[in-house]
Every structure is written in C-alpha cells, then in structure tokens.
Amino acid sequence: MNDIVINIKKVMLVFLILFITLISYLTYIYMFNSEKAVASTFNQRLWAERNKVLRGTIYDRDMKALTKSKKTSQVSQKEQYLQGEIFAHAIGYMDPIYGLAGLEKKYDAELMGSEDSLVTKFFDFNKKEEEKVGNGLRTTLNSKLQTAAYKALEGKRGAVVAMNPKTGEILAMVSKPSYDPNNLGADWKGIVANKNMPLINRAVSGLYPPGSIFKTITAISALENIPNVTNRTFDDNGKLYFNESTSLQNFDGEVMGNIGFRAAFLHSSNVVFGSLGIDLGNNGLKDTAEKFYFNKDTPASGLTIENSKFPSYKNYEKGNIAQSAIGQAGVLVTPMEMALVTSTVANNGIMMKPMLVKEILSSKGKSLEKIQPIQLGEIMSKKTASTMKDLMKGVVAEGTGKGAAVPGITVSGKTGTADHKGDASKQVAAHSWFIGFAPYENPQIAIAVIVEEGGVGGGVAAGITRQLISDYLK
Amino acid sequence: MANISWIMKYAIIAIIYLIIIFALRIMYKDIKGGGKKKTVIKKTMGLEVIERGENFNLRVGAVIPINNEISIGRKADNLLILGDKYVSSEHARIYRKNTDYILQDLGSTNGTLINKKRVKDRVGIKKGDEIKIGTSIFKVIG
Amino acid sequence: MESIKEERKLLRYTYFLCIVLFVNIFFIGKEGLDKGALMMGAIICILFAYSHFIIRRFFPDGDKYILLFSNVLAVIGMGMLYRLDSPVALKQLIWYTVGIAVFILVVVLFPSLSNFGKYKWVYLVCTLILMSLGSFFGKEINGSKNWIDIAGFSFQPTEFGKLSLVAYLATSLQYYGKNIKEKSEFIKIKALIEPGIVVMVSLGFMVYQKDLGSALLFFAISVTMLYIATSKFRYVLICLLLFMIGGFISYKLFGHVRQRVLIWGDPWKYGYDEGLQLVQSLISIASGGLFGTGLGLGYPKMVPVVQTDFIFAAICEEMGLLTGFAILILYFLLFYRCMRVPIYGKDNFSRLLAVGYSTMIAAQVLVIVGGVVGAIPLTGITLPLVSYGGSSMIVTFFSLGILQKISEDGQSYE
C-alpha cells in the first residue's frame, strides 16, 4: 500500500516541523528572556552562591571570638553574638530579614571573602570538599573594658567611648540602652517601638549639648588666639550681662570673684568662658571647633561618625555666642567627638584617625592586612596641648573633677553638666559628662562618658571614668 | 574538585554531538545506497544434490547456493525448477530469517520430506539435513 | 561489512559518553570521590554491550539505531539522576535493566506480530479496564488521580493503557478501505464509529483523572493513526475541531484546566505558588546558558519535581542548552528510525501498530518539553527514558521492543 508510505512521510514531516518549532522556541526564550529570568526575585541562586562561604569571625584585640556563624539552609546563615548586648552597637548585626549594620555591614565583603585561590582548589582532588570560610576581623576593642563600661551604665542611658590617644584605636564603645542581636526576629517590634531607641549607637550618632566640657575647646581657642590669656585676671561676679534683660550665670549662681584663667577652667566658670567666647567671636570659636572636625565629616575607619555641630551666629547675638562658648545654645556633640578632642590633647595636639579594626586575617589565622594608625593633623601647637594637659590635670586634682581621681594614677579631665530641654519642656536633670585621659605622664587611654539626665558631670560620669580607668590601668 | 565539571561539560556536549553527526552520516549513506538493507551474513547455506531422481536437469554432487531465498517448484519462475510429476507448481521455498534458514512447504500435493519426516508448514533446517522433494533428495551443507 | 565497523564506532562513542559522564560525577561527589558513580557507569556500559551484542548476533535484520539512540538518552538521564539523588538513580538503573530485558524478551519471544491483529476484543477490554482503574481505585499524587498502589509499588495504569489502546486501534483500523468495492463513504465511516467511541471514553477517563498530558497524547496518537489508515485529511481537521471544542468545554467546566492555562499565560504572576514549578524551570534553563554550568555546579534542585517532569530543565541548567537541543534531536532521530519501520512493514496491523508506538514516544517528548519550557501549558507526563519512572521505562522499552520486532519482521524474507 503505497498510500501508507506517503502518509508516513507526511506525518514525519509534521513532527519534524513540530520539533523544529520547539527548538526555535527554546532558542527564542534563551535569547530574549533569560536575563529577566536569572535576575528575577524567584532566583535564589545568587543567595546560594553567597552562602557557600561561611561568614568570618569578628574578634576582640586579644583574638577572643565575639561572633560565630552557622549555615541554616542553602541560602542563609545565622550569626551568633557571643557577648550579646555588650558589643551590639560596635559589631552591628547580620540578619537575613533586617539586613546588615555596624562592622558586619562595613566589612561585609571581607567577612564573606575567602583567601583560597582558584589554582590551589583546582588540584585538590583527594580532599573532601572543604568548607569555605570567610576572613576574620580583629577589632581594636578590649573585651574587659567594654564589659566594664557596659556594666557601669547599668540602668542608665548614655554612652562610653575609650580610645588610645597615640593610635586612634577604639578600646571600647558602648551605647545604652542596647538590644540583643541574637534575637532580632523575636524582639524587633519591641526594639523599634521603644521610645529610648536602643538601635541608635549613641557613641557616634547621639548628638548632645556638651555643656562645660566644651570649655576645653574654648580654652584651646583662647590659648591659640588670645595672646597672654593665661596671665589675665577675670572678674567673675556670678553673672554675665549682655543687655538689660538677658544674662548667663555660673552653676548655682556661684560667684568666683577675681580669678585667673587656670582657676576659671578648674572651677568651670561660665562667666569667664562666656566672656572669652564673646572676645573670640563666633568666627574664632567656630574655626577652632572646625579644626576638630565640627560641621565636617570626621574620617574614621570602620565606623561612621555623625557630624558634631557648632552654630554660626551674627556678631550681635552676644547671648548665643557666650552660651556656645560654654557648650550650650546650638552646640551639639557626639561622645566620639569629645573622646577625639581629649585624645588630641593627650597626644600633644595630634589627632589620630579613630579606627575600630586592626587587622584582617584569613580563616586559618594568616594576617592579610594590618591597618596602620593614621594622623589626621596637628590641631593645636605642642605648647597649647601641654597647657591644656596641665589644666585638665588640675581639674581632677583640685577642681570639679575630683570624682574621677584614682589613687596611684594621675587622671586628667573636664566635667560637664549640660542643660537641655526634656520633652514637653518640663524641667529635666542635666546630662552628666566627663572627658579625661590617664596617666598624665604617658597617656594610654582617653575616654568620654555621658549619662543622659545623670546630673552634674562631677558626679555620675566622673565616677564611671574613675572606675574604668582604674580597671584598665591596674 | 567541582571545577572539573567546568571543563568536562564541553566534553560531554562534544561527544553527544559526535554521536548525532556520525549517526546522521551513516543513515544518509544508507538512504543513498537504496532501500532495503542487504545484510550480508557470513553463514551461507547450500543444497547438495544427493539423488536427482527423475529431474534430469540436476547433476549429482552439484551444489545449489541459497542466497537469502530460494523458491522450488515445477513452474518456470522458480529458482530451482524440478520437472517430475510429484512436484507441485509452487512446491516449497527456503528463506533466511536472521541467522537461520527456514524450509516452508507451500501446500504441495505430495509434501516435502525433511529427514524422512513430512514438513508441516515450515521448519528450520541445519547442516546435514536431508530434504526430499518429489523424486530428488538434497543435503543441506553450510 | 562496513556497517559493522561503523556501528561499532558509534557504540564506542556511546561507551565514551557513559564513561565521561560518570567520571565527572565521580569527581564531584559531596564527600570526596564517589566510587558508586564509577560502578554505575561500568554496569551501564556492560548493559550497552550486552544488549547490542544480543541484537546484533541473533537478530541482525532489525534496525540498529533504535537501541542505540535509546541507550544514549537513557544514560544522559541516569547520569543526571545520579547527580541529583544517587539512590533514585540506582532505582532507575534497575528499571532500565528491566526495560532492556523486556526489550530483548519482546524481540526474542514474540512470534511475528501479524498474528496479533486478531485480538481486538482483548485489547478493547484491557484498554477500558486500565483507563478506568485510576478513577475507581486511584489516589491523587501531584494533582492527578491516576496512581495505583500494589504491594508498595506505585504505577500508573494509564501508561499501560496507552499500549493496549494503540493495539486496539491498530486492529480496528487495519481493514479500513480494504473492500474497494464499497466506496460508499458512509459505510467506511461506520467502521470508525466503534474506535471513535472507545477513544472518547478513554479521553474522558483521563480528563476526569486530571491527567491532561496523557489525554493530549492519546488524542495525538489516535489522530495520527486515523490519518495513516484513511489518508483522509478532513478527518484530521474534524478531529482537531472536536478537540478544540472539547478543550473549550473542559476549560469552562474544570477549574484545574483553567488554572493550568492561566499559569501558562503569565507564570511570573503566580511565581510563589501555582506557577512555582514553571517559573523555577524557566530560571533553571536560563541559568545554564549554552554550555551549562557543569555537573554539580548549578542548582537544579531548586526546581520542584526535578527527577521526573522537569528533568529537562536540570539537564539544560547543568549540561547546557546545547545538550537540551541534542536530546530533542536524538528523540527525533529515534522517531525517524521508528517511523521507517512501518514503511517496510508487511501488513497493515503491524504498520499501524508501529506508527502508533512511534507517535506515542515522539508526542510525549513534545508535550512534556513544551510544557517545561512554557511553550504549552504544563502537564504531568514524563520524558521517556530520561525521567525517573518505572512504568514509563517499561512501557517505552516495550514499545521499542515491538518496533524492533516489526522492523526485524519487515526485513525478513518470510
């Protein structure tokens, strides 16, 4: 039946066309739709690739592990924070839902990077496929100090920043209230709703009126710009008048009488420093402040510091100028900024770049990169620095900062009691500030402490400083 | 180690396409060579004339080769023509099936005998079998 | 004589492919070197050699390429299955061995197939029973209710039903138009009524069991056989029309049909739930590129049901789009060799049977690959020889065995 043969050939042709159509369709979607497919949110391959590397560990300066990573599925990992709340703000967090923050974010590439080269992997026929582990970070943090600072702020809100004035290494950075980075999923709602905003790293992002600790900068400005200011005598009768109605007064209305520059600093005379501020003028003070990176982005390694603010005033705004000289009016600082100011004084006028990470290591412990301390500049002359160091030594020995004195160690510093408005403008306690360094002869640590609504600087903040310096140096 | 796959994938694709191309070539040659495949096998068989009986066109000792198929009968269009009166016009045929040869009786009047036994429809033949058609006897040789 | 040499050469390439595949898998094992892969490769090579030897030695008349192409397809499937999940691959190896055994047994044991053209009623009853088994005793897996559990093995009776349906149609249609005296169209059509009803009943069962892929397949096979037997193109058109009407009706009637069509229209919209399979399949294919990522370097396991319906996507991702094309080409070549068989067939029954089984395999490939790449709505049928599946493997090798037998019959001088 030849019929059949012809029919079969026709059927074969039909199927041939169908197959060719299918192959063409496949080619078509490959050429035109494949990019869209690969980039779509349904494609988990990128996550799986990233997840092939087990995230590296973050260590303190003595190589004690602060984090631990574990793979939870083909596309995600879980990070365990061994010290929980204590290091929360310094290290940050890595969460599959809430993303990255802190060091985890800044050094994400290094933590997920792996040192193995392509060539060595290729010829590893006999070994079991080893798990790739990311590089490690060795921070500058001192666990003991960090923990002590955290405990010292127990039940309070505030921040502590401690650094090495010679290198800029941050030895401790604590912000309270804190949160537990191990439980972000469960706690998130509570954390976000908390009025006290535990997520904010107050050390670098909290902007506070500095109060009297700003007199340090005013003093530096005076020393650099007003010749012979150390020999001047001031008449402090408790109040400084700008016009008939507005004035500024000392704490508790204290009248200090005729005092010199040194005494005014040691006893924190608002009147003297307010008038010095008027003498220097807004520009004079502002220039000095901006040398310390006020109103500018402070270079830093491993962290981002909010810009401290020194306001601009017109010449006739004497009241504001005077207030700004004593750290009120529109002046706002971060604790980190003040720690930097202190460090610079302790380091003979040279400001070091603050750094949080010392070294990047391979997963096997090999050093891949050492991060060197960097000088940011000479902010004041050696002479000024020396004068300031002496002044600050006096504050703790004889002045308002006696609360920070440690037997056997010469502590230097400055107190600050910063007035501020609470909410609904009701009367609230001032913020308690203390900045200081020790030992005087060869400074190892510079520290800034703020306790929100903690009262006088010479009280709570000074006490915390005393305890921490004692723990660190003894 | 996994990187081996990165190289081997090219090898795998190459081999598959080699198979396809090669098969296509062979099939193309096949088509050009014409329809039915003529499988030539090593095993050929033949019929040796043992007794010619009344078939005077046969010579004793002659060998008639069997190439795939041979038709036997009195009609002139048979390959092996046997004229004696006991042979039907289309008596029998021997054909190759794969590697064997089959002797088929085409409904002849007097039957076909293999080793003295009558063939019912068809039977396989092997070397040494004796086939009697009409008055002639043949021996199968291989 | 040349053909033997060339066959051997082709066979050698097949061994080579098997070796390369499994050596590759050997190296990428999760816990160091995977010796199981080497053993599996060796066993498959032995099976290749053995099956080829039997066919060559005892049945040299038949078509040689049917077995060869089938083996190439099967080894690609087993290679990928081993990479995906080695226990499953081992099970597949067992099914493959059974398949080869069935293939050889069919060729060896069955007498000439022309004799089988008499048993119309047997086939009819078998078909109806097998088709309906699913509806009465079946349990629902993956959206289609056509699996039966016997002694711990799940199988799909409709797969075997396909075999008996083709046989039934072949017996019914073989005498069509034989009586040239009765040119009356009406009488000829009468002969078609009975098979027509059987086909429609079977299709009905399948749609009811939500096995739309098999329904489409049956339809394609029946129409093709009808055309081959009658040479009347208009019957084909009528059937297509009926199909479209039927399709439209079932779209309106059945929610699951509507759903499949909607997902096919814009799979990305349904990417999280119903459309997940198709979307992941498309992503997988796109991720591989022309040459693939290499075995073990891609993520085929992100595609659901990847061992059965979507194995084509996995192969495209890791072995490349080029391998995907090659597979389609191989299937077409297999189809071509199978369709050559009826050309040289001796009687109409064998020819129709051959056409039926060839179409069955080719249509199945088109339907499932079409669904997997999004060319047509997705259905739940397997890719013959490549997907994991015992029923599929046995049924396919059985059909191939019959085809081989017919080809060998057709070449003989009987």
> Which stretches of chain A drop beneath a pLDDT of 70?
1-2, 114-130, 243-245, 422-427
pLDDT at A120: 47
Which of C170, C48, C103, C153 has its CA nearest to residue C396? C103
Contact (CB<8Å) A29/C373: yes
Q: Is A121 part of the contact surface with chain B (CB cutoff 8 Å)?
A: yes
Q: Phi/psi at B96 (nearest 5 deg)? A: -90, 135
pLDDT at B17: 94
DSSP alpha helices (H): ranges in A292-334? 318-325
Contact (CB<8Å) B3/A122: yes
What structural domains does chain A harbor?
159-473 (3.40.710.10)
Predicted confidence pLDDT, tens digits, chain C (414 residues): 457 788 888 889 999 999 999 988 888 877 777 888 889 999 999 999 999 888 887 777 778 889 999 999 999 999 999 999 889 999 999 999 999 999 999 988 887 776 777 777 778 887 777 877 777 776 666 666 667 776 666 777 888 888 888 888 888 887 776 655 555 666 667 777 888 888 888 888 887 777 888 888 989 999 998 888 888 788 888 888 888 888 888 888 877 788 888 888 888 888 787 888 899 999 999 998 899 988 888 889 989 888 888 999 999 999 999 999 999 999 999 999 999 888 877 777 888 889 999 999 999 999 999 999 999 988 888 899 999 988 899 999 999 999 998 888 766 655
DSSP A449: E
Calculate the alpha carbon distances from C42 to A265, B89, C46, C48, C285 in Å.
Answer: 91, 58, 6, 10, 30
Picking from C1, C61, C72, the nearest residue to B98 by CB comes out as C61
| A137, A56 Cβ separation under 8 angstroms | yes
Calculate the alpha carbon distances from A8 to C342, C344, C357 in Å.
Answer: 8, 11, 13
DSSP A355: B
- Long-range contacts made by residues B111-120, C-beta under 8 angstroms, separation at least 24? B119/B92
Pairing state between β C153-155 and C144-150? antiparallel
Residue A130, classed as helix, strand or coil, is coil
CA atoms within 13 A on the CB side of A355: 23
Q: Which sign does the torsion angle of CA C129, C131, C136, C141 carry?
A: positive
User: Chain B residues contacting C, CB < 8 Å?
Assistant: 1-13, 15-20, 22-24, 26-27, 35-37, 39-41, 68-69, 95-99, 102
Size of interface A-C (CB pairs under 8 A): 114
Nearest CA in chain B to C321: B13
Instruction: Return the percentage of chain B with pLDDT > 70, whole number.
Output: 91
pLDDT at A220: 96
Q: Phi/psi at B97 (nearest 5 deg)? A: -125, 110
Q: Is A39 part of the contact surface with chain C (CB cutoff 8 Å)?
A: no
Contact (CB<8Å) B2/A125: no
Name every chain B residue with its beta carbon within 8 A of the beta carbon of A129: 1-2
C-contacting chains (≥3 CB pairs under 8 Å): A, B
| Angstrom distance (rounded) from CA C388 to CA A377 | 72
Q: Which sign does the torsion angle of CA A186, A192, A193, A194 carry?
A: positive
Structure tokens at C75: 């080894």
Calculate the alpha carbon distances from A364 to A126, A175, A361 in Å.
Answer: 20, 32, 8
Structure tokens at A340: 């930097």
Name the CA dihedral angle for A424, A426, A431, A432, rounded to a multiple of 10 degrees: -160
Nearest CA in chain C to A127: C32
Picking from B9, B19, B95, the nearest residue to C17 by CB comes out as B19
Q: Which sign does the torsion angle of CA A233, A238, A244, A246 carry?
A: positive
Total count of residues recorded for chain A: 474
Residue A241, classed as helix, strand or coil, is strand
pLDDT at A119: 46
Q: Is B41 part of the contact surface with chain A (CB cutoff 8 Å)?
A: no
Residue C12, classed as helix, strand or coil, is helix
| Angstrom distance (rounded) from CA A201 to CA A158 | 10
Size of interface B-C (CB pairs under 8 A): 121
pTM value surpassing 0.90: no
Instruction: Considering only the C-alpha atoms of chain C, give the largest distance between any 2 of them, rounded to a whole number of Å.
Output: 75
Strand partners, A394: none
Strand partners, A301: A355
Which of C293, C303, C362, C297 has its CA nearest to residue C323? C293
Residue A104, classed as helix, strand or coil, is helix
Structure tokens at A79: 């990070």
Q: Which sign does the torsion angle of CA A110, A112, A116, A118 carry?
A: negative
| Angstrom distance (rounded) from CA B97 to CA C61 | 8
Pairing state between β A132-133 and A53-54? parallel
Report the alpha-carbon angle A303-A306-A308, nearest 5: 135
A-contacting chains (≥3 CB pairs under 8 Å): B, C
Nearest CA in chain B to A127: B1
Q: Is A127 part of the contact surface with chain C (CB cutoff 8 Å)?
A: yes
Predicted ipTM of the assembly: 0.92
Residue A302, classed as helix, strand or coil, is coil
| Angstrom distance (rounded) from CA A330 to CA A309 | 8
Per residue in B41-92, pLDDT (tens digit) is 556 788 888 888 888 888 888 888 887 788 888 888 888 888 888 888 888 8
Q: Is B5 part of the contact surface with chain A (CB cutoff 8 Å)?
A: no
Q: Is C366 part of the contact surface with chain A (CB cutoff 8 Å)?
A: yes
